[in-house]
Amino acid sequence: MSIPENQLDALIARLERAAEQLRSGELSADAAATLVEECAALAGEASVELERRARVEQSSAGAQGSLL
């Protein structure tokens, strides 16, 4: 599954907001734990998409090189 660029940006923004909340120290322990779990899921989604895009780019570069 491919994530559009703007959706990837939205994932990053959500992670940044969560980091700010965690650093603020205003969350209860339970809320912080839940937010950390959400961050892990978001980071996993972003990581998978970035790896997929890197493979596509690498594949495209390799295909172009073989044509030369």
pLDDT computed for residue 22 by the predictor: 95
Query: In Å, how far are 14, 38, 52 from 17, measured between CA atoms?
Result: 5, 12, 25
The tokens for 18 are 């969560």
* Residues 46/12, Cβ–Cβ less than 8 Å: yes
Work out how many domains the chain is built from and give that number. Answer: 1
Tens of pLDDT along 15-61? 999 999 999 999 999 999 999 999 999 999 989 989 988 999 898 88
| Segments forming the whole domain that contains residue 53 | 5-67
